[in-house]
Amino acid sequence: MALPAALVVAAMVAVARNGTYASPDSAFYVGVARSLRDAFELVAPPGSQPLAHFPPVFPAVLAAAAAVLGVDPLDAAGVLNPVLAGATALVVGVVVRRRTGSVASGAVAATVVALGRESLVYGASALSEPLFTLLAVGGLVALAASITGRSGPLLAAATATVALACLTRYAGVALVVAGAAAILRFEGAAGRRRALAFAAGGAAPLALWLAAVGRPNRRVSLHLFDAGYWTNGVDAVSKWVAPAFLPWPVRVVVAAAAAVGLWRAARPRLRLVAARRPPADALPFVAGAFAAAYLVLLVGDRLLLDDSGRLDGRFLLPLRPLAVLVLAPVVHRAVTGRARRTVVVVAGAGLLALHTVQALAWTVTGMGDDSLGRRNLTARAWTQSEVLATVAALPPSVPVYTDGPDAVFLLTGRRTESLPRHHDLLTGEARPGYERELATMADRLRRDGGVVVWFSPFAFRSGFLPTPADVEREVPLTPVQRDEVGVLYRPSS
């Protein structure tokens, strides 16, 4: 069962050797990890969100991995996250084997999780999703076992794991809600103390963190979204079943057919639940409760807190291994009779073969692909950028304003100023101090001989940062250098 996970870990490490995928969120994680490694301080890097925007566990684990491996945290992520993704697949395989009594079913389940497209992509990244997914799966498995066996030590282990998950991503609160609901569901009034202890222990470290650093920079503000939010989610889920290289209508049809087949196989089990005779195994309810609470949290965050939120493969990543945990035993029980067994085996083998082809193609192309789409901030266009090199070589006294201060700091260590924001990224609301900040920036550029740099990979920030035309209303600019990722401007004489 360890073989699929080990092979996929090796593939992700090989791809990440040419550059770990790094986004603006990665710049925050790596910057905080560097401050922990170098000075044992939790300090948000320049140009990134405030320290409270993300919880601290992933940067801390990244700093520890960097110290052990003797490399920069950005490079350490290229080893740490593949191992975490492989560990998740192995945990799923072991649990499925235990739940079915079949080594073959456990091995297939581990393979399915390991070959997931999002598992590969984010396993070769400097993002927190692989760690959160492993903690979520481990915490829910331990919690279900503690409910089934009324085990205090397992409950303590589940509580500690969920607490770490909450300190990895704020969405871990859904684990607390789901776990407490599951304890009450299976243990009734007798489980109130255990539910309260679990909820308090899981949420208390997060509460202490927020008390120490302040609440995240999110304000309640209504952000209505269109049908594209949901269709993105459907598209992401369809890739769990059918590989991404198939046309999306084909993926949706295949996923729908699989859902119908699983529904028919699981109906007898669901009838037991509907009759209020809960099965001895608590894992299906625990996983389902988490999925419901997690989706409600994602939608609520998009609706009330974060105008940029989306329902895509990255944010749905923790749900896929849990789906395999729950559905693999259903498939195992349903394979009875020669005809049904033939259909399931042939269909499953065909889909698994397609996912294997997808994983091999991803690995082969990834080992030689250093494009912006594949690497983002670690792409060759960034690491060999002459504009970036010019910015890094400027004296500290020269003010540099840019739409990518986090990228500049991540790749060069140079501190730069962010362009003033005319709208808030999270709320989408206009900022009243924008015009004043823009005028202050123009004065500094004239007085101190500063420069302005716009990076094309950050074009998405044009929704809340000024364009060259906006700045030129305050101070004339002349482009003096450009390359694949950026254009450097100086004030016109």
What does the pLDDT read at residue 378?
Answer: 94
Check whether 266 has a pLDDT greater than 70: no
Question: Residues 470, 480: contact at Cβ < 8 Å?
Answer: no
What does the pLDDT read at residue 191?
Answer: 85
List phi, psi (to 5°) of 371: -80, 165
What does the pLDDT read at residue 333?
Answer: 77
Check whether 270 has a pLDDT greater than 60: no
> How large is the average pLDDT for residues 432-442?
91
Check whether 116 has a pLDDT greater than 60: yes
Check whether 276 has a pLDDT greater than 80: no
Three-state DSSP at 478 gives: strand
Question: Residues 162, 142: contact at Cβ < 8 Å?
Answer: no
**Residue from 36, 35, 42, 34 nearest 75 by CA:** 34
**Residue from 61, 24, 64, 68 nearest 44 by CA:** 24
Three-state DSSP at 430 gives: strand
| pLDDT range class, residue 189, cuts 50, 70, 90 | confident
Q: Strands, DSSP E only, in 257-391?
A: none
Task: Please state the domain extents for the chain.
Answer: 2-369, 384-491
**Could you tell me the pTM of the whole model?**
0.92
pLDDT tens column, 208-263: 999 998 877 777 777 788 888 898 999 999 999 989 888 888 888 888 888 887 77
What does the pLDDT read at residue 259?
Answer: 83
User: Which of 30-39, 112-121, 354-363, 456-465 is predicted least confidently?
Assistant: 456-465
Token couple for 265: 């196989």
pLDDT tens column, 6-58: 999 999 999 999 899 999 999 999 999 999 999 888 888 887 888 888 999 99
What does the pLDDT read at residue 267?
Answer: 67
Check whether 272 has a pLDDT greater than 60: no
Helices (H), 191-247: 192-213, 228-241
For 188, other C-beta atoms within 10 Å of its C-beta total: 9
Check whether 362 has a pLDDT greater than 90: yes
> Residue 434 class from Cβ within 10 Å (0-12 exposed, 13-18 middle, 19+ buried)?
middle
Three-state DSSP at 233 gives: helix
Check whether 205 has a pLDDT greater than 90: yes
What does the pLDDT read at residue 280?
Answer: 63
What does the pLDDT read at residue 336?
Answer: 64
For the chain, give the percent of residues with pLDDT over 70.
95
> Residue 286 class from Cβ within 10 Å (0-12 exposed, 13-18 middle, 19+ buried)?
buried
pLDDT tens column, 58-115: 999 999 999 999 999 999 999 999 999 999 999 999 999 999 899 989 999 999 999 9
What does the pLDDT read at residue 337?
Answer: 60
Check whether 401 has a pLDDT greater than 90: yes
What does the pLDDT read at residue 321?
Answer: 96
pLDDT tens column, 123-182: 999 999 999 999 999 999 999 999 988 888 999 999 999 999 999 999 999 999 999 999
Maximum separation of any 2 CA atoms in the chain, in Å: 84
Check whether 183 has a pLDDT greater than 80: yes
Check whether 360 has a pLDDT greater than 80: yes
What does the pLDDT read at residue 39?
Answer: 87
Token couple for 31: 């910057």
Please list, in sequence order, all residues whose beta carbon lies within 8 angstroms of the beta carbon of residue 132, skipping any fewer than 6 positions away.
58, 165, 168, 169, 171, 172, 318
Helices (H), 115-172: 117-123, 129-149, 152-166
pLDDT tens column, 311-359: 899 999 999 999 999 988 888 877 666 666 777 788 888 889 999 999 9
What does the pLDDT read at residue 47?
Answer: 79
**Residue from 445, 435, 440 nearest 491 by CA:** 445
> Residue 487 class from Cβ within 10 Å (0-12 exposed, 13-18 middle, 19+ buried)?
middle
Check whether 273 has a pLDDT greater than 60: no
What does the pLDDT read at residue 269?
Answer: 59
